[in-house]
Amino acid sequence: MRRVTLLAGILFAGFGAVGIAQTPVPAAQTAPAAPVGSISGHPGWPVAKAEDVGSPEAIVHAVYSVISGGKGEARDWDRMRSLFIPDARLIPSAAAPGGHTDAIILTIDGYIARSDRRMTTMGFFERSIHNEIEQFGNIVQVWSTYESRHGLDDVAPFARGINSFQLLKDGERYWVVNIFWDAESPAHPIPNIYLPK
């Protein structure tokens, strides 16, 4: 097992309005059937660029990059799909009535349907400010602290939080299996250990 700490200054375009997605969403999306074939093949699935998927750092950067962009800038959703296994999930935590918290389970296409219009009309950028990587065999966990901005020139972020990436190592490439996240709040500030040193 290895543990690597890295500080990154990459853009992390918003997965929704805050972080990978922090606004309420409709009911969970049902995943389409995965293409027939081996896990490493995924026939019919978009093919990733080698530089996007060659390391945990590279694939996390690619996810941030593909969802980043200004007002009116279309996202390359096939590039996004190429980073994820077909049955991957994107899971924001969300406040529920009575002081409870729930998890909103989204497929890749469910996430795209939810986020595309907001991203292209408002502009949204996120950047990782601190990452923690742990790996054992073919499984990888990346605990990534982010800052969210509507524009690159915004002096201060309007939100921060932590994205938990689960990755699969498949030969010479990595796949995103899940991203699970929560936004910082006054009641739950980000601990110093997950902030830049």
- Read off the tokens for 197: 């040193």
Best mean pLDDT range from 4-13, 112-121, 177-186: 177-186
pLDDT tens digits for 120-146?
A: 888 999 889 999 999 999 999 999 999
Which residues partner with 21 through β-bridges? none
Which residues partner with 148 through β-bridges? 126, 159
The predicted structure's pLDDT at residue 33: 41
End-to-end CA distance of the chain: 23
Question: pTM surpassing 0.85?
Answer: no
Which of the pair, 8 or 122, is modelled with greater confidence? 122
* pLDDT at residue 5 is higher than 70: no
Report CA-CA distances (Å) from 53 to 18, 82, 171, 172, 193: 25, 9, 11, 8, 27
Q: What are the extents of the domains in the chain?
A: 2-26+51-194
Identity at 20, one-letter amino acid code: I
Please give the mean pLDDT across all residues of the chain: 83
The DSSP annotation for 24-90 comes to: --SSPPPPPPPPSS-TTT-TTSPPPPHHHHSSHHHHHHHHHHHT-B-TTPPP-HHHHHHHEEEEEEE
pLDDT tens digits for 59-118?
A: 999 999 999 999 999 999 999 999 999 999 999 999 888 889 999 999 999 999 999 988
> Largest Cα–Cα distance in the chain?
47
Confidence of residue 25 (pLDDT cuts 50, 70, 90): very low
Specify the CATH number of the domain 2-26+51-194: 3.10.450.50
Angle at 161 between CA 90 and CA 49, to 5 degrees: 50
Q: How far apart are CA 134 and CA 123, in angstroms?
A: 32
Q: How far apart are CA 85 and CA 23, in angstroms?
A: 24
The predicted structure's pLDDT at residue 160: 95
71 in Cβ contact with 62 (< 8 Å): no
The predicted structure's pLDDT at residue 19: 52
Confidence of residue 40 (pLDDT cuts 50, 70, 90): low
